[in-house]
C-alpha cells in the first residue's frame, strides 16, 4: 500500500495535557453537616484542552513544552495549600476550572499557537468539572 495515497481530511486539531497537584479545601458556604464543609483534600488532575485550525512547527497545535509555565504555577501557588485560604472564591471544582482557564488565557495564550477550549478539573476518579471557554 502506498501510504502517500491516503487523503488527509479537512478539519481542526485538538490536544490535551494533564497536570496534577495536591491540595486541601473546605466549602464553608455549605451546611455544617455536609461532608465538603469539613476540611478534606484531593489529588487534583487538571486537563488543559487546546485547538487550532492549522499546525505549526513540525506539526503541533502547541508544543506541550510550552505549557510548562502552567505546571510551575500549579506547583508554586496551589500544590499542598488550603485552597479556601488562598483563592478569592469558594474553591469548587467548577470555579477552580474557570480560574485556571483564566490563568491560561492571561499568561499562556498570548505566546502559544493553540486556542484554549476548556479546562477540566478532576477531584476524584469519579468527579470532575469542565469550564468551556467561549470562542474568541
Residue 133 DSSP label: P
Catalytic residues: 36, 80, 123
SS3 label, residue 11: coil
Tally Cβ neighbours within 10 Å of residue 65.
Answer: 7
Tally Cβ neighbours within 10 Å of residue 54.
Answer: 8
Amino acid at each position: 500500500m502506498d501510504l502517500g495515497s491516503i487523503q488527509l481530511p479537512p478539519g481542526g486539531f485538538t490536544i490535551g495535557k494533564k497536570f496534577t497537584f495536591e491540595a486541601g479545601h473546605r466549602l464553608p458556604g455549605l451546611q455544617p453537616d455536609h461532608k465538603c464543609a469539613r476540611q478534606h483534600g484531593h489529588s487534583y488532575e487538571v486537563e488543559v484542552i487546546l485547538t487550532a485550525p492549522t499546525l505549526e512547527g513540525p506539526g503541533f497545535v502547541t508544543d506541550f513544552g510550552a505549557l510548562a509555565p502552567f505546571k510551575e504555577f500549579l506547583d508554586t501557588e496551589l500544590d499542598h495549600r488550603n485552597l479556601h485560604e488562598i483563592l478569592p472564591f469558594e474553591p469548587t471544582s467548577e470555579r477552580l476550572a474557570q480560574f485556571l482557564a483564566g490563568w491560561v488565557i492571561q499568561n499562556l495564550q498570548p505566546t502559544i499557537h493553540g486556542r484554549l477550549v476548556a479546562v477540566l478539573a478532576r477531584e476524584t476518579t469519579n468527579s470532575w468539572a469542565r469550564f468551556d471557554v467561549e470562542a474568541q
